[in-house]
Structure 1
């Protein structure tokens, strides 16, 4: 313990120490002094223009003259340079990608209206529209046959007409249920 105290006194500048346990000390010096006090920090000279692929050779005089001629052209003629150059050097024509289900924001160049394809509906809901007064009991029994409802729940459901009695069924299943309800005196539709 006495050695640590002597070490702190001999070190000189004020030091913040943390005592972790009996034999460990962590010392932090508030101001860092470099080894050579006369040394100056190195200055980095930034390049004038950022070149991601390294330095390039300067363009030839021909290229500089061509760039000057292009810059001197009016805007209408400058717009035509790209397509003409593509034809001259036999570049393939750029074709817009056709990505299904992604809105490209009218990139095809045609009309602004997007083609809307309606997805064919695969699941349907069955809605009980009405039923004959004398066929109420038969309709309740039929509703119970294709749902997991008890007698009271089926009765409450039938009394709330018009009401959806079954959801998310296929077209074939929906048609068979509608026919069964129609046979007992009710009117149901597919939505």
Structure 2
């Protein structure tokens, strides 16, 4: 039985053979793909989740609308003109980050269990995450998704904010 890495690399080799015509270009592309694959395999669960969200966003596959092309141009437009700044304030924020500010020490175990319910983290990762408070627990959630999570964490004795 092949490991996921070996299956990935064999798929890359097949793709490389079908797409590339010259040997030198093929070698540099395969090295780059192998390096990227190694870096992706070294990520922990939280980093993989963040990467998946970012990758979907860059491809325009996120559920908050199409990807924004040219972030630099939008930043310079809001900094340059006063009218553009008022327009951006008028638009409503759709994606929020759930940030754990602090928590009651007596409720630490309950908070860790609750964090595990809305993330796909293991016990150790969730414990490490909660102990790093103040920290963002979940990024890019809608207000409808975030409100029940925030309410539950507040009931357990945590101070949570939406950013």
Query: TM-score with structure 1 length normalisation?
Result: 0.41
Highest relative contact order (Cα 8 Å, sep 6+), 1 or 2? 2
Higher fraction of helix: 2
Query: TM-score with structure 2 length normalisation?
Result: 0.47
* Higher Rg of the two aligned structures: 1
